Amino acid sequence: MFGKKKLKKKQLDQQLLEKVRQLKDDSQHLQEMLRHSVDPSEKGKYDLAVKKAKYYYLLKEARYRHIKSSS
């Protein structure tokens, strides 16, 4: 019974790390696209700002939980 809570925490921590990695990759990809674009759209700039904000928020949450990546 007590191990179940620890297992669930590990699952949630792993999901958090995966989401942080995904947002980092997505924001870097979008930033590259905007940098190479001749006339970047306002929607693209907005999407980049939103992705970066989500990334930094989840990164802060991971630090608060003392989660470290194994890789």
pLDDT confidence of residue 1: 52
Q: Which long-range contacts (CB under 8 A, 24 or more apart) does 46-54 make?
A: 51/23, 51/26, 51/27, 52/27, 54/23
Name the residue ranges covered by the structural domains of the chain.
15-64
pTM (2 d.p.):
0.80
pLDDT digits (tens, 9 = 90+) for 11-57: 999 999 999 999 999 999 999 999 999 898 999 999 999 999 999 99
Is residue 71 scored above 60 in pLDDT? no
